[in-house]
Amino acid sequence: GAVVSQHPSWVICKSGTSVKIECRSLDFQATTMFWYRQFPKQSLMLMATSNEGSKATYEQGVEKDKFLINHASLTLSTLTVTSAHPEDSSFYICSASRAASYTEAFFGQGTRLTVV
Amino acid sequence: QQQVKQSPQSLIVQKGGISIINCAYENTAFDYFPWYQQFPGKGPALLIAIRPDVSEKKEGRFTISFNKSAKQFSLHIMDSQPGDSATYFCAASKGSGYSTLTFGKGTMLLVSP
């Protein structure tokens, strides 16, 4: 099956610092990767869509200068939370779609970010 | 505007019973309807998915029923087990181009022993 690995699983950082989260497709090439944010007991909120080699498309209300997304290869996308603040604390999840797939998306295990 | 409405918000089922979760959509352009299972602290995992050319799909204890005219689809979990206790999300996407999923709000299922 298709495996998406996200790293780290959890991270604690100080307010004002930046944190990078990696999302890797381990056994397939992902032309498109997605980044979601999930608050406790809520649904997934799409933050941005990234295609390999091009700029990410951000959803309305998501600050692109705060949440930097890089999709440099067909197997790796990164989300950097810049100048993190406590309100950025959340569960961040990535997903990836295969190049030849109709629409199927595979999710990473998520990253719990806590900003103190 | 919520494009995929999911109900109930929470559900308690006895072990061995049938769990039923319903979703309704508004956008007739949707043509791919997956269900995801999420355990606490984990990412969602694809459970089963259906496309509108069939009315039902079954995989083990999990069945999707799809009603195109009513724009509704549901997940049935037969012989529910305590290990099925999780949050379930329905979703929908348009299929062509990249696959942006629109999620329902989720259903917390608790299967009592």
Q: What percent of chain A has pLDDT over 90?
A: 72
* Residue found under tokens 């099925």: B84
* pLDDT for the residue numbered B95: 64
Of B45, B94, B99, the CB nearest to A107: B45
Q: Using CA atoms, how far apart are residues B8 and B6, in angstroms rounded to an integer?
A: 6
**What average pLDDT does range A74-80 have in this prediction?**
94
B100 to A34: CB separation less than 8 angstroms, yes or no: yes
CB pairs under 8 A between A and B: 62
Chain B CB within 8 Å of residue A73 CB: no
Give the three-class secondary structure for A87: helix
Distance in angstroms between the alpha carbons of the first and the last residue of chain A? 37
> In Å, how far is A17's CA from the nearest CA of chain B?
24
Computed over every residue of chain B, the mean pLDDT equals 93
Alpha-carbon gap, residue A111 to B70, rounded angstroms = 37
Residues 6 or more apart whose CB falls under 8 angstroms from that of B16 comprise B79, B80
Residue A55 has a pLDDT of 87
